[in-house]
């Protein structure tokens, strides 16, 4: 089984968010896909199988399958465009979050994702203790989202990961603030999925984009994720959908030694 390792939301290797991608003719067992994801030990490993003119796409973290992942979707489109079907510039993926479309525009990959405006909630002492910083506001969608006063607070945040894991609300935790160089910045943490920090999280921007679009009263924005690796996302709100674009680059191609298992 071939496995492609791609840095998504990156213009060169060692930036952005690394994802593993396996393009298959048939589905292996869920257990095997989970074991591969644990062995890769990346935030997501994507598995794709062609289904007519679409691709069925699933994402696995080291801690389990997830319903939406941006960077591994971008990475899958990159692999398909460069190694499987160079004549195609548009890819439609059947996923747990419905059909997702990725369009290759030059070297950029533009993803069409659902918009998920989060709901404002109260800030608790447990949240403040886990974050190590007091947010201005808190919101809940799929993930907990905290608005911080300063960009530097996002950059230097040092959350307590075991405490984040114990928070009842949300799958992940997003920190975000306005930016001077970009429109907004963020960081994303998923200790409940055994991923302390996701270097660049596309799915988190399904919440971030509608929120910041409302704050800025504009549809197009440029965002930066302030992880150690860092990554830039080109964002647009379009009613009930968001457009998230980024670059990708290949790091490695591996041959998984699974013949005896398969």
Specify whether 189 is located in the same domain as 147: yes
What pLDDT does 87 receive?
Answer: 83
Of 51, 91, 93, the residue nearest 68 (C-alpha): 93
| pLDDT digit string (tens) for the chain, length 262 residues | 999 999 999 999 999 999 999 999 999 999 999 999 999 999 999 999 999 999 999 999 999 999 999 999 999 999 999 999 878 899 999 999 999 999 999 999 999 999 999 999 999 999 999 999 999 999 999 999 999 999 999 999 999 999 999 999 999 999 999 999 999 999 999 999 888 999 999 999 999 999 999 999 999 999 999 999 999 999 999 989 999 999 999 999 999 998 766 5
Q: What are phi and psi of 164, to 5 degrees?
A: -60, -40
Let me know whether 100 and 7 are in one domain: yes
How far does Cα 1 stand from its chain's mean position?
24
pLDDT at 86: 77
Which residues in 45-141 belong to E strands, given as ranges?
45-51, 54-61, 64-66, 90-95, 98-105, 108-114, 119-121, 137-140
Between CA 48 and CA 59 the distance in angstroms is 9
Looking at the fold, whether 70 and 96 belong to one and the same domain comes out as: yes
Residues 95 and 191 in one domain: no
Q: Based on the domain organization, do 70 and 127 belong to the same domain?
A: no
Do 105 and 133 belong to one domain?
Answer: no
Residue 175 lies in a domain: yes
- Domain of 104 in residue numbering reads as 2-113+246-255
37 and 131, same domain (yes or no): no
* pLDDT at residue 119, as a whole number: 97
Q: What is the predicted pLDDT for the residue at 239?
A: 87
Q: Is residue 262 part of a domain?
A: no
Cα–Cα distance for residue pair 23/227, rounded to 1 Å = 28
pLDDT at 157: 96
The pLDDT value recorded for residue 258 is 85
| Catalytically annotated residues | 44
Residue 217, SS3 per DSSP: coil
Contact, 16 vs 71, CB < 8 A? yes
pLDDT value of position 261: 63
User: Quick one: pLDDT at residue 9?
Assistant: 95
* 158 and 202 fall within a common domain: yes
pTM of the model: 0.87
CATH number at residue 60: 3.10.310.10
Judge whether 260 lies within some domain: no
- pLDDT value of residue 158: 96
How many structural domains does the chain have?
2
> Would you say 175 and 167 are in contact if contact means Cβ atoms under 8 Å apart?
no
Instruction: Identify the residue whose tokens are 């997830």.
Output: 66
Residues 190 and 92 in one domain: no
123 and 109 in a common domain: no
**Same domain (yes/no): 189, 226:** yes
For residues 172 and 190, the answer to whether their CB atoms sit within 8 Å is yes
CB-based contact 170:215 (threshold 8 Å): no
């Amino acid at each position: 089984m071939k496995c492609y390792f791609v840095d998504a939301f990156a213009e060169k290797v060692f930036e952005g968010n690394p994802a593993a991608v396996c393009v298959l003719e048939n589905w292996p067992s869920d257990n095997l896909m989970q074991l591969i994801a644990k062995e890769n030990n990346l935030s997501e490993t994507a598995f794709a199988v062609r289904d007519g003119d679409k691709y069925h796409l699933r994402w696995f973290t080291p801690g389990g399958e997830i319903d939406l992942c941006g960077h591994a979707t971008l990475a899958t489109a990159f692999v398909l465009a460069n190694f499987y079907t160079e004549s195609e510039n548009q890819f439609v993926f059947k996923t747990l979050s419905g059909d997702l479309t990725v369009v290759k525009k030059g070297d950029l990959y533009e993803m069409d994702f659902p918009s998920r405006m989060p709901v404002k909630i109260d800030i608790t002492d447990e949240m403040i203790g886990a974050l190590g910083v007091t947010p201005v506001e808190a919101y809940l969608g799929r993930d907990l989202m905290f608005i911080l006063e300063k960009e530097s607070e996002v950059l230097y945040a040092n959350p307590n990961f075991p405490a984040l894991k114990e928070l009842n609300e949300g799958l992940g935790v997003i920190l975000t603030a306005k930016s001077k160089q970009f429109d907004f910045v963020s960081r994303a943490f998923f200790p409940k999925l055994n991923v302390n920090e996701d270097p660049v999280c596309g799915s988190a921007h399904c919440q971030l984009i509608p929120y910041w679009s409302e704050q800025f009263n504009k549809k197009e924005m440029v965002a930066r994720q302030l992880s150690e690796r860092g990554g830039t996302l080109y964002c647009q709100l379009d009613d009930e959908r968001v457009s998230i674009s980024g670059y990708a680059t290949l790091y490695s191609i591996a041959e998984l030694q699974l013949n005896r298992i398969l």
